[in-house]
Each structure stands twice: as structure tokens, then as C-alpha cells.
């Protein structure tokens, strides 16, 4: 929560979160290293990430309602994720964040969240 009592979800706005994820996947689609970790059809993964971010940033709990507890590390353990893979993922998220039009303090807070999450996913 911010000093204003708003969640990061409220401060960024759902439309901005949805666009950020779309921009992220447009970047990721071209990455030879990590694209192979995703199914051919990216739409289901993209929609899950949208719901995840909405929930993780303080919005509605649709992700948990539909899929159960996020269990990020466990859900990603089937893939070998090292520093290189995490760095590529973060590079694409950073590029999407650079395109985002919401204020810098919210970009910084979002980056802090995804950076920590990416580091947590490293399993090799």
C-alpha cells in the first residue's frame, strides 16, 4: 500500500497491467533462449500472467480462484531456469516497462517486484 492507501494495482491501473503483459510477450516471442519454455500458443500463458499480476499487485483474486495458490517456484520448477534465463526474462519485462505510460514511482515498485520474483525462480 502507498501512503494514499492504494495498492500498486490501483496506482498502475488494470489497463496498464494488461498492456504491459502484451508488450512483454511481444518481446519474449522473439527470444530463442526462453521462448522454448512456453507452449506454441502463448495466449493462455499471457492470460495467466495478466491474472497473476492483477492479483499480486493488489487486485481481484481471480488467479487463485481459477488456478489455486500461485506457488510460483513450484509451478516453474519443470524448467531449468538459471541466471541467463532470468536475465532474458527481465530484459523483456524491462523493455515492456520502458514502453509503459504510468508514473516512474510505480514503474520502480513494479520492477522491484518482478526482479525479486525472477531471482526466486532460479533453480539451476
What architecture is the 10-121 domain classified under in CATH? Orthogonal Bundle (1.10)
Apex 120 CA angle, 44 and 41, nearest 5: 15
- pLDDT (tens digit per residue) in 14-38: 999 999 999 999 999 999 999 999 9
- pLDDT (tens digit per residue) in 53-83: 999 999 999 988 888 776 766 666 677 999 9
Round the average pLDDT of the chain to a whole number and report it. 91
Residue 17 CA to residue 114 CA, distance in Å, equals 13
Helix H, strand E, coil C: the string for the chain is CCCCCCCHHHHHCHHHHHHHHHHHHHHHCCCCCCHHHCCCCCHHHHHHHHHHHHHHCCCCCHHHHHHCCCCHHHHHCCCCCCHHHHHHHHHHHHHHHHHCCCCHHHHHHHHHHHHHHHHHHCCC
Residue 105 CA to residue 111 CA, distance in Å, equals 10
Domain residue ranges of the chain, discontinuous segments joined by +: 10-121
Distances (CA, A) of 71 to 2, 43, 75, 78, 112: 26, 21, 6, 13, 19
pLDDT for residue 66 = 85
Amino acid at each position: 500500500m502507498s501512503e494514499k492507501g492504494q495498492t500498486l494495482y490501483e496506482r498502475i491501473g488494470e489497463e496498464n497491467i494488461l498492456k504491459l503483459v502484451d508488450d512483454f510477450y511481444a518481446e519474449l516471442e522473439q527470444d530463442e533462449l526462453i521462448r522454448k519454455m512456453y507452449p506454441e500458443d502463448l495466449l493462455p500463458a499471457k492470460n495467466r500472467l495478466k491474472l497473476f499480476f492483477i492479483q499480486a499487485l493488489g487486485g481481484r483474486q481471480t488467479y487463485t480462484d481459477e488456478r489455486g495458490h500461485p506457488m510460483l517456484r513450484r509451478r516453474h520448477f519443470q524448467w531449468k531456469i538459471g541466471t541467463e534465463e532470468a536475465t532474458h526474462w527481465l530484459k523483456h519485462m524491462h523493455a515492456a516497462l520502458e514502453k509503459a505510460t504510468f508514473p516512474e514511482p510505480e514503474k520502480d515498485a513494479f520492477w522491484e517486484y518482478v526482479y525479486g520474483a525472477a531471482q526466486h525462480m532460479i533453480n539451476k
